[in-house]
């Protein structure tokens, strides 16, 4: 009898428990050493009681090796949480964002192996117009860099562990939302610490809203002679939206002066102790592209030293079409000039008229100017069975200042024009097809001026790199999907003359259940930059191989 | 003893429900609401982002379905863009008249709490719920999925 009571009791208790689990299996084997074998599994358990909720989640990884990152065989993440109406307590791996991320914005971009979560405790109290978050934990960040030995684009060789402690208070009053934040960090293996404080204000109004955020950072370290070095930096981000009926005009402005370094040290992520922290992912205000060639040509944000402006106009044309026009401009906050001995000196930015300018991005080559203009029209035809996107993009990026003296100038530039397009047609209840075509002409190399004589030296074997991406997908009955893709170029900086300039692939996807799918891919994928929100990573090409991706959810 | 434990586990998994949790979430207009208050009756809940084209096509398909069939349902769109993309989300929502309707709720999940709770990667991940209980779950969007949505919504509305 007792056993039946036991079963009944625990069954009724556990019936209030919810389970969710997810499994992702990935396998790839290409030419050379490009092979991976990964299994990710997430298990979540929730116990719902009146006015209380307990959650536990566990992420396991079994990868040897993963496609990108270090091999893992065990617990990747866990989280235990208690939640009620006004209070939450989380113990384990947490991700928090304060305001729009100027001080704290923890992200996980697994495809870039960029994870800025922290393991520790986060407590949040919320009552009426007040939200208070207090947290403490340890964050471990890993990257691949050519500045250290053993560089491999797929395996990190730079590791940074730091303790973080902080609190954030959000208050609302009379339609004004205010936030105040303080964050302290200590690097575990060095004597580097930083204090970041800031505030933010948001004011929605009838036809739009205004957001303003400031931050100040102070960094300290023990120098080589045990003397205390310190450095200060600051950042400002301003965003304004104005609605004109269904149209929106958005303007974003940012000025980050956290760690201003000359061109020889600017990209040194290993030794610049006062640089912006990875747990601060301040808004970049660059357009985040979803077309393949444009995404690969994205701007890598410099959150240490950048002034930028983005204007975007978007709205409907008729019932089913949307027009988007975006313009982004940025530069460093100083121009750089070297003297006869090659010593770099910072100079104020100048406007095109030659006036001194400290607030807006400059077009002078000595200040890393970046400009992008993008326009896209997307929408449906009248009967709703054709969806299309067509666009145009112009990009100009000076991403390295190599020399800039009275007698010699040399800048590394990338200029590209891209025409992306796609169309998706529903043929009948069972069949639909999707075609994508992207054309790009790029100019990559060095603009050099010696004693008044200008020249351009291409990084490529051709003056212009011409890139083409074409894909065709057929979907059947929401179950089967077959994609054939081709990418080609007339010249690629990563290839020797003997390698192919064409990447072909074919993939077949079968949706086993509505939330479970199996994809089998065969062929090659071109390498290059992969960027998400200003975080970029070089991804090596995958040549002539097989990939299998299977994901399944249980409950 | 072990076999009883196994039996309890099997029973609980078989009869355990999957529901939208009672948790505070932030809407695009900064208001804080309880998530499961938005999913009373029949609802569609979908994880999306402004850069995710299948998500945008799915949102359009859902709206067309609601219009064509005069469904009285709630649509909860959980946005997973980064916090720095809030202006982008706002301008996207403003450009679609229907997203400003009372039955649409845009939730900002930039600390990815709900995204992780529901294993939402890859997006779109979409649920149909009845009084916060998940009765249908689908990942990805291809043309033709709207027919499946229609079948599932009709079934849910008949219950």
Look up the CATH number of the domain holding residue B129. Answer: 3.40.30.10
Query: For residue A190, which of A215, A224, A165 has the smallest C-alpha distance?
Result: A224
Is residue A91 within 8 Å of residue A81, measured between CB atoms?
A: yes
* Encoded tokens for A552: 């399944």
Cβ–Cβ below 8 Å for A20 and B52: no
pLDDT for position A510: 96
| Chain A positions in Cβ-Cβ contact with residue B147 (cut-off 8 Å) | 429, 478
Tell me how close the Cα of B155 comes to any Cα of chain A, in angstroms. 16
Of B115, B21, B108, B28, nearest to A117 (Cα)?
B115
B3 and chain A in contact, CB less than 8 A: no
Instruction: For residues B122 and A213, give the distance between their C-alpha atoms in angstroms, rounded to a whole number.
Output: 32
Structural domain total, chain B: 1
Shortest CA gap B113–chain A (Å): 8
Categorize the per-residue pLDDT at B135 as very low, low, confident or very high, splitting at 50, 70 and 90.
Answer: very high
In this complex, the residue of A7, A99, A387 whose CB is nearest that of residue B57 is: A387
Answer whether B12 sits within 8 Å of A55, measured CB to CB.
no
Distance from B27 to chain A by nearest Cα, in Å?
13
B5 — pLDDT class (breaks 50, 70, 90): low
User: What is the predicted pLDDT for the residue at A200?
Assistant: 97
Contact between residue A15 and residue B12 where contact means Cβ atoms under 8 Å apart: yes
- The whole-number pLDDT of residue A348 equals 85
Residue B10 lies in a domain: no
A209 contacts on B by Cβ (under 8 Å) = 90
Q: Which residues of chain A have pLDDT under 50?
A: none
Cα separation, A529 vs A442, whole angstroms: 15
ipTM of the complex: 0.91
Give a three-class secondary structure readout of A232-289: EEEEEEEEEEEEECCEEEEEEEEEEECCCCCCCCCCCCCCCCCCCCCCCCCCCCCCCC
Q: Per-residue pLDDT for B13 more than 70?
A: no
Q: How far apart are CA A282 and CA A196, in angstroms?
A: 13
Phi first, then psi: what are they for B110, rounded to 5°? -75, -15
- Any domain includes B5: no
Tally of CA atoms within 13 A in the half-sphere of A522 that contains its CB: 2
Is B98 contained in some domain?
Answer: yes
Which residue in A319, A387, A389, A518 has the most chain B C-beta atoms within 10 A of its own C-beta, making it the best mutation to test that interface?
A: A387
Total residue count of chain A as it appears in this document:
555
Residue A112 is predicted with a pLDDT of: 87
Has residue B9 been placed in a domain? Answer: no
Question: Which positions in chain A touch B57 (Cβ < 8 Å)?
Answer: 387, 424
The single-letter DSSP state of residue A104 is: -
Which residue range forms the structural domain that includes residue B30? 18-158
Domain assignment present for residue B56? The answer is: yes
- Does A14 sit within 8 Å of B11, measured CB to CB? yes
Any idea what DSSP says for residue A367? G
Q: Are A147 and A268 in contact (CB under 8 A)?
A: yes
Q: Determine the pLDDT at residue A340.
A: 81
Rounded to whole angstroms, the Cα distance separating A248 from A266 reads: 36
Domain annotation covers residue B24: yes
Does B112 sit within 8 Å of A108, measured CB to CB?
yes
Q: How far apart are the first and last CA of chain A?
A: 32
In a domain, B130, yes or no: yes
In this structure, is residue B119 part of a structural domain? yes
């Amino acid at each position: 009898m007792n056993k039946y009571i036991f079963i009944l009791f625990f069954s009724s208790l556990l019936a209030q428990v919810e389970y969710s689990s997810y499994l992702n299996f990935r396998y790839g084997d290409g030419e050379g050493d490009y092979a991976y074998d990964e299994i990710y599994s997430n298990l979540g358990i929730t116990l719902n009681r009146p006015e209380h909720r307990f959650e536990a989640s566990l992420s396991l990884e079994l990868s040897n090796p993963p496609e990108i990152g270090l091999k893992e065989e065990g617990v990747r993440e866990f989280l235990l949480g208690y939640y009620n109406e006004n209070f939450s307590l989380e113990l384990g791996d947490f991700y928090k964002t304060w305001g729009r991320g100027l001080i704290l914005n923890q992200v996980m971009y697994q495809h870039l192996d960029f994870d800025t979560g922290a393991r520790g405790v986060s407590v949040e109290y919320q009552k009426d117009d007040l939200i208070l978050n207090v947290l403490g934990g340890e964050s471990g960040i890993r990257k691949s860099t050519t500045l250290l030995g053993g560089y491999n684009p797929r395996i990190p060789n730079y590791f940074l562990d730091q303790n973080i402690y902080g609190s954030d208070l959000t208050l609302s009053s009379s339609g004004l939302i205010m936030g105040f934040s303080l964050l302290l960090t200590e690097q575990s293996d060095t004597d580097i610490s930083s204090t970041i404080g800031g505030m933010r204000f948001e004011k929605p109004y009838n036809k739009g809203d205004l957001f303003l955020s400031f931050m100040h950072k102070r960094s300290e370290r023990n120098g080589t002679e045990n003397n205390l070095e310190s450095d200060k930096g600051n950042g400002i981000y301003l965003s304004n939206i104005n609605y004109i009926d269904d149209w929106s005009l958005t303007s974003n402005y940012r000025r980050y002066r956290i760690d201003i370094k000359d061109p020889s040290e600017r990209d040194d992520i290993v030794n610049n102790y006062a640089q912006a922290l990875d747990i601060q992912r301040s808004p970049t205000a660059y357009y985040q592209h979803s077309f393949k060639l444009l995404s690969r040509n994205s701007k890598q944000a410099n959150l240490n030293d950048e002034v930028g402006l983005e204007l975007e106009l978007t709205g409907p044309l008729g019932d089913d079409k949307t027009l988007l026009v975006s313009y982004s401009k940025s530069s460093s906050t100083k121009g750089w000039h070297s003297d006869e001995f090659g010593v770099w000196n910072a100079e104020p930015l100048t406007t095109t008229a030659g006036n001194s300018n400290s607030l807006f991005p400059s077009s002078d080559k000595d200040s890393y100017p970046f400009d992008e203009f993008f326009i896209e029209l997307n929408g449906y035809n009248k009967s709703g069975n054709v969806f299309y996107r067509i666009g145009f993009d112009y990009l100009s990026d000076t991403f390295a200042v190599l020399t800039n003296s009275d007698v010699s100038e040399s800048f590394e530039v990338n200029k590209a024009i891209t025409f992306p397009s796609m169309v998706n047609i529903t043929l009948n209840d069972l069949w639909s097809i999707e075609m994508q075509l992207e054309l790009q002409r790029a100019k990559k190399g060095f603009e050099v001026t010696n004693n008044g004589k200008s020249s351009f030296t291409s990084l490529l074997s051709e003056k212009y790199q011409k890139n083409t991406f074409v894909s065709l997908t057929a979907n059947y009955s929401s179950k089967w999907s077959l994609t054939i893709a081709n990418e080609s170029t007339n010249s690629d900086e990563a290839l020797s003359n003997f390698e192919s300039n064409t990447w072909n692939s074919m993939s077949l996807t079968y949706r086993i259940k509505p939330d479970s799918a199996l994809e089998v891919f065969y062929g090659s994928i071109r390498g290059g930059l992969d960027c998400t929100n200003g975080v970029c990573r070089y991804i090596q090409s995958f040549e002539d191989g097989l990939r299998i991706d299977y994901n399944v959810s249980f409950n | 003893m072990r076999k009883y434990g196994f039996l309890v586990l099997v029973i609980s998994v078989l009869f355990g429900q999957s529901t939208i949790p009672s948790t505070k979430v932030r809407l695009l207009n900064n208001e804080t609401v309880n998530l499961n208050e938005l999913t009373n009756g029949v609802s569609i809940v979908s994880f999306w982002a402004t850069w995710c084209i299948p998500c945008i096509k799915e949102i359009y398909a859902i709206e067309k379905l609601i219009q064509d069939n005069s469904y009285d349902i709630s649509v909860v769109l959980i946005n997973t863009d980064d916090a720095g993309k809030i202006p982008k989300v706002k301008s996207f929502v403003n450009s679609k008249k229907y997203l400003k309707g009372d039955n649409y709720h845009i939730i900002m999940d930039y600390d990815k709490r709900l995204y992780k709770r529901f294993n939402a990667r890859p997006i779109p991940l979409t649920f149909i719920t009845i009084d916060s209980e998940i009765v249908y779950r689908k990942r990805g969007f291809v043309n033709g999925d709207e027919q499946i949505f229609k079948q599932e919504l009709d079934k849910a509305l008949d219950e």
